[in-house]
Amino acid sequence: MGTTLTERWLDPPGLGADLELDVQVGPIKAPDREWFWRLDNDGFAFENCRCRASADYHAGRGDAVVLCSPGVTDNYAVLNCIAAAAHAEVLRRGGALLHGATLCHRNRAYVALGHSGAGKSTLANRFADTYLHDDYAFVVPDAKGRWWFWRHAETRGPRDDRPWRVPLGGLLILSEDRSRTATGPIASDEAFAAAFAHTFHAGGAGAQPMFAGVQQLIHDHPPWRLSHSLDDAPQAILEALEAVSHGA
């Protein structure tokens, strides 16, 4: 069974390859890991428990196989295929895929990293009209070493017309302290550990560029800690973001 996905999902410069999706329904043996078998300037090959995907950058085309049970249409597996293509391009450019909510303030993107339940969605929803995503963030450097946030329209992302590419303003690590809204610096070793803990891993050929990208990101944008209280007005969060910008 074949399907074609035409909805706009990611719109960074230079990522315009088509992706042909071949949906196979049946008991297919799938790996239990996320793994790039190939990742270079010519293309990539990726697989996990939901999909297999590959692309040829010179031809501008790719193929994907969605792994699902009989009678089940796994839409999340389709998104995995598209995410794999985007993740490969981000890694190739020296960037990373982070687990964080992204706020937009004064045309700068601020990614608040945190585990599930840390309050990412709660934080994003306080800025429902302007936040860029509440769970995932692609961050990518350009040729001059400036970092950018790339938005994607995964099902939990905003669906209206918001910026697809915004300069990165800073990184924050969400604190468990909910008694006040404030930011503070983090020791370098803790900052590295926290950033890696909230990075989506890329095994195989993707491991080395993943680690290199996160190391460069932390060097260029040292994370700050953010505590977030619901008793404080949203303006307090924006003031905290200003502090991060001035401290970077």
Q: Are 246 and 240 in contact (CB under 8 A)?
A: no
Helices (H) and strands (E) in the chain, counts: 5, 14
Residue ranges of the chain assigned to CATH 3.90.228.20 = 96-247
Report the predicted TM-score, pTM, of the whole model to 2 decimal places.
0.86
What's the confidence (pLDDT) of residue 65? Answer: 81
Closest CA to 165 of 214, 226, 95: 95
Pick the CATH number of 96-247 from 3.40.50.1820, 3.90.228.20, 3.60.15.10, 3.10.580.10: 3.90.228.20
Residues facing residue 102 across a β-bridge: 111, 133
Type and span of the H or E element at 103: strand 96-105
Closest CA to 67 of 48, 82, 83, 84: 48
What's the confidence (pLDDT) of residue 85? Answer: 85
Type and span of the H or E element at 96: strand 96-105
Which residues of the chain are modeled with pLDDT < 50? 1-6
Residue-wise pLDDT for 92-138, tens only, equals 999 999 999 999 999 999 999 988 777 888 999 899 889 998 888 99
What's the confidence (pLDDT) of residue 32? Answer: 72
